[in-house]
Amino acid sequence: MTRPRILVTGGTGFLGRQVVPLLRQSCDVDVLSRSGSSEIKGDLTQWNAGIDAVGSLKGRYQAFLHLAGLYDLRASQTECYLHNVVATNQALRLCQRLEIPVFLNTSSVAAAINVDAEKVNPFQVNLNAAFPDAYSESKAIAEKLIQTWEGGPRLKINLRPGVLVGDESRGEIERIDGPYYAPIAVGKLKKVLESIPGPLILPGDEARRLPLVPVDACARAIVKIIQASLVSEKSGYQSYHLVPEEGLAIRDFYASVLRHLLIHHRGIKLVHQVPHLLMKKVSKWALGFPEAQLTYLLAFPRYETSMNHEILGADWCPEFSSYERTFWSGYEKFVSNR
């Protein structure tokens, strides 16, 4: 039986370095990258993806996996639009020109951060409400672009990973981001926090959960969805939330941070009605914590995951308690080597 061939962008990124080796166990993989060491040299921010002789690749691939993109909550609107919207447009055009039947895109749960619903389904996008940053807005626009794209691939699949953290076995990371800002910020206030006579008052909402996902678990899920798409006769648009069934309660995350930093305290009290100006000042000046990160901490909705069950099962993504130790060991390894 002939092995399917997959065209992948973003194969050298944090997630891509996990996905590509797994995918190569059952598929032939060509990575499109600006690097000369990749199978195909190209640039999705350029017209025609910067590829010479596109016609020679027609009919070669059974699926296109678009992992490339800019993930930076502090990036400008121009940068986010170029790398997350223009590049996705070029990826779709390339998929269409090469007559690839299946297109898979990795977006982010941030694309639905402004959806006003108790539980967000993976198809929901709200372009009529304000986004907390240019990154989330660009991801939402890219999703809408894929959803409304006419012609081209028979099946379009959108994947919304949660907040990616280090792998389950080693916890290794490549930069401080997302939840990893918390121990730095809290550590700066260790003496102050330990001197507080009552419970620590921290920003958060009892109803909110952090959708943390180990990068290797996310990679395995993506490969399973690709494999399912290759034998599927379905057409149209599908979308999935790649997040844990429950997610990590914000209170439990704070408790984990405090345990890791050996901070003695007398309980935690969450306050979710934090004035915007105060939150900005505290996060930027007192803690050195990016404002957008704190905004997400207060705003993450619950995500519908029932669509995953047929392909991934209900327990594909481990909960934080099962990899808490490696989460912190990976963090400590990174900060000690910086």
Residue 330 lies in a domain: no
Q: Quick one: 202 and 215 in the same domain?
A: no
Question: What is the domain-level CATH number for residue 24?
Answer: 3.40.50.720
pLDDT mean over 202-231: 94
Helix (H) or strand (E) holding 292: helix 291-299
Distance of CA 108 to the CA centre of its chain: 4
Q: Quick one: 148 and 258 in the same domain?
A: no
3-state secondary structure of 324: helix
Residue 337 lies in a domain: no
Q: How far apart, in Å, are the Cα atoms of 119 and each of 189, 199, 200, 300?
A: 34, 30, 29, 10
Q: Quick one: 182 and 160 in the same domain?
A: no
Residue 256 lies in a domain: yes
Do 71 and 135 touch, CB atoms closer than 8 A?
Answer: yes
Kindly report the backbone phi and psi dihedral angles of residue 206, in degrees, each rounded to the nearest multiple of 5, phi listed first: -60, -30
Q: How far apart, in Å, are the Cα atoms of 98 and each of 28, 92, 103, 107, 329?
A: 16, 10, 11, 22, 44
Q: Quick one: 186 and 294 in the same domain?
A: yes
pLDDT mean over 70-81: 93
pLDDT band, very low/low/confident/very high, at 212 (cuts 50, 70, 90): very high
For residue 199, give its domain range: 178-208+247-301
Residue 278 lies in a domain: yes
pLDDT tens, residue by residue, 241-273: 999 999 999 999 999 999 999 999 999 998 876
Distance (Å, whole) CA 262 – CA 260 = 5
Q: Quick one: 272 and 156 in the same domain?
A: no
Distance (Å, whole) CA 132 – CA 248 = 22
Do 27 and 5 touch, CB atoms closer than 8 A?
Answer: yes
Residue 268 lies in a domain: yes
Q: Quick one: 216 and 202 in the same domain?
A: no
Q: Quick one: 257 and 191 in the same domain?
A: yes
In 10 A of CB 198, how many CB atoms? 9
pTM: 0.93
Q: Quick one: 230 and 286 in the same domain?
A: no
Structure tokens at 262: 């050996």
Of residues 74 and 134, more confidently modeled? 134
Q: Quick one: 17 and 121 in the same domain?
A: yes
Q: Quick one: 218 and 283 in the same domain?
A: no
Helix (H) or strand (E) holding 255: helix 250-260
Of residues 15 and 292, more confidently modeled? 15
Residue 265 lies in a domain: yes
Q: How far apart, in Å, are the Cα atoms of 120 and each of 114, 117, 219, 301?
A: 10, 6, 23, 7
Q: Which of 91, 96, 51 is nearest to 67 (CA)?
A: 91
Residue 203 lies in a domain: yes
Q: Quick one: 101 and 197 in the same domain?
A: no
Residue 293 lies in a domain: yes
Is the pLDDT at 275 greater than 90? The verdict is no
pLDDT tens, residue by residue, 92-118: 999 999 999 999 999 999 999 999 988
pLDDT tens, residue by residue, 161-206: 999 999 999 999 999 888 998 898 888 889 988 999 999 988 888 8
Distance (Å, whole) CA 104 – CA 64 = 6
Q: Quick one: 160 and 49 in the same domain?
A: yes
Average pLDDT, the chain: 90
Total number of domains in the chain: 2
